[in-house]
């Protein structure tokens, strides 16, 4: 784990960049627990609708629950998505409950991914299908897993739809994280896919409905992503025809990136949709399962500054919280900027350290030098007791942190309507 890259004295974001309702909620959080997350679930649902509007009619949008599993967020998303992508039994159950509250027993589809599905997980999924009628698709990632799916389905007296996850030999896209065309635990390597297809077709309890490819995360090149989707469709059709698979589903994963810095380009959603619209109707369900693109701009992490100190030429703002709440900047080395909210209240007679017209490094309260959220950000004024707000924190924030280290309180989460006055 490395600290985030230096901002090289880039100014902090203006406070006005944070919606007024979010600013109020952030100050309230800081006055109470000291830090936490603010989400706008309605904004997340609107982003799904925006994405669906840009895509061809044959595309389906699932939300990757691992990006944000907060139940109020999932409840709003259940009104807009075609399904959810889950990576654990708990996520699958939570997503199914959200869908059924909004849509009744018909609900929507749950696709389940993960490179190490246990027999216990698969048995739980089979029971969800057999006992509760859940529309569950298992993205199987190895031949052994296919045998485990078959055994779980037969024991539950059902048949589980399966999409074989493939790790393509060459991937025409790049991003923050590439999971295709490289050594890794995800999926079946493309040269071995034919054997896995034959295994899936031979096993009872399995209905091989198609293929799953999730090869990249954080891609902001829309043209390259459209070419990647084309490759997934063409490969799936060619492979299905060669082996007699009744192709009904092609899951092309997520991977749509969002800009974290001022000079980064946003994903060209309109261009992406237009490029896909030029493709012939594939005649199958084509699933996109983004998480970050939908949720990141709909959340903010807020933390109260507990101290401001200088040491050997460096200036440090220490906050309540840190990577135990918000590990993403450090884990991914993201330059994640923040806004300073000035707070007037301060105990009389107690010194109030301040930084002004200089660059600060934001550190958390954990006993490790890795607890850094932002480095070398220039602030005009920052005092102990003020509140820092990090936008673009709605995805892989709370879910991606390390809350057990030092046993500080977990980050609370609350919701607002960020577009209200």
Catalytic annotation, residues? 367
**Rounded Cα–Cα distance for residues 266 and 247 (Å):** 33
**Rounded Cα–Cα distance for residues 418 and 20 (Å):** 7
**221 touches 271 (CB < 8 A):** no
**77 touches 290 (CB < 8 A):** no
**96 touches 134 (CB < 8 A):** yes
**Rounded Cα–Cα distance for residues 228 and 190 (Å):** 15
**212 touches 187 (CB < 8 A):** yes
**Rounded Cα–Cα distance for residues 402 and 17 (Å):** 28
Residues 6+ apart with CB under 8 A from 300: 18, 22, 26, 37, 38, 39, 389, 390, 391, 393, 394
What is the DSSP code string of 325-394?
T--HHHHTT-----EEEP-----TTS---EE-SEEEEEE-SSSSTT-EEEEEEEES-EETT-EEEESS-S
Residues 6+ apart with CB under 8 A from 28: none
**82 touches 309 (CB < 8 A):** no
Residues 6+ apart with CB under 8 A from 67: 291, 292, 294, 295, 296, 395, 396, 399
Instruction: Could you list the beta-strand ranges (E) of 65-176.
Output: 83-86, 109-112, 135-140, 160-167
**Rounded Cα–Cα distance for residues 90 and 87 (Å):** 8
Backbone angles phi, psi at 367, to 5 degrees: -85, 65
Q: 3-state DSSP call for residue 219?
A: strand
């Amino acid at each position: 784990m490395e600290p985030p890259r230096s901002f090289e004295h880039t100014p902090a974001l203006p406070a006005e960049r944070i919606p007024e309702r979010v600013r109020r909620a952030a100050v309230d959080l800081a006055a109470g627990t000291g830090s936490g997350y603010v989400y706008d679930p309605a904004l997340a649902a609107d982003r799904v609708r925006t994405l669906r509007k840009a895509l061809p009619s044959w595309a389906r949008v699932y939300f990757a629950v691992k990006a944000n599993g907060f139940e109020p967020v999932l409840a709003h998303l259940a009104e807009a998505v075609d399904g959810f992508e889950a990576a654990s039994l708990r996520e699958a159950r939570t997503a199914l409950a959200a869908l059924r509250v909004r849509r009744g027993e018909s609900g929507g589809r749950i696709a389940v991914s993960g490179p190490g599905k246990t027999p216990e997980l698969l048995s739980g999924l089979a029971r969800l299908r057999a006992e509760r009628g859940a529309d569950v698709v298992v993205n199987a990632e190895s031949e052994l897993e296919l045998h485990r799916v078959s055994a779980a389905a037969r024991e539950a007296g059902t048949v589980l739809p399966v999409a074989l996850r493939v790790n393509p030999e060459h991937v025409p896209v790049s991003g923050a994280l590439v999971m295709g065309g490289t050594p890794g635990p995800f999926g079946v390597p493309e040269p071995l896919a034919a054997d896995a297809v034959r295994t899936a077709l031979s096993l009872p309890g399995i209905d091989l409905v198609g293929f799953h490819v999730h090869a990249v995360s954080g891609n902001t090149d829309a043209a390259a992503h459209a070419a990647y989707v084309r490759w997934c469709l063409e490969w799936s059709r060619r492979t299905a025809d060669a082996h007699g698979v009744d192709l009904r589903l092609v899951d092309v994963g997520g991977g749509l990136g969002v800009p974290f810095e001022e000079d980064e380009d946003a994903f060209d959603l309109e261009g992406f949709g237009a490029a896909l619209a030029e493709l012939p109707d594939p005649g199958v369900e084509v699933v996109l399962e983004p998480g970050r693109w939908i949720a990141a701009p709909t959340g903010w992490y807020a933390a109260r500054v507990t101290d401001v100190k200088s040491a050997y030429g460096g200036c440090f703002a220490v906050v309540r919280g840190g990577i135990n709440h918000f590990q993403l900047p450090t884990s991914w080395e993201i330059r994640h900027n923040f806004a300073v909210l000035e707070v007037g209240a301060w105990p009389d007679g107690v010194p109030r350290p301040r930084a002004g017209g200089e660059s600060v490094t934001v550190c958390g309260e954990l006993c490790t030098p890795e607890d850094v959220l932002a480095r070398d950000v220039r602030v005009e004024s920052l005092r102990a007791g003020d509140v820092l707000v990090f936008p673009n924190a709605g995805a892989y924030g709370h879910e991606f942190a390390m809350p057990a280290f030092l046993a500080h309180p977990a980050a609370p989460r609350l919701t607002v309507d960020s577009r209200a006055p």
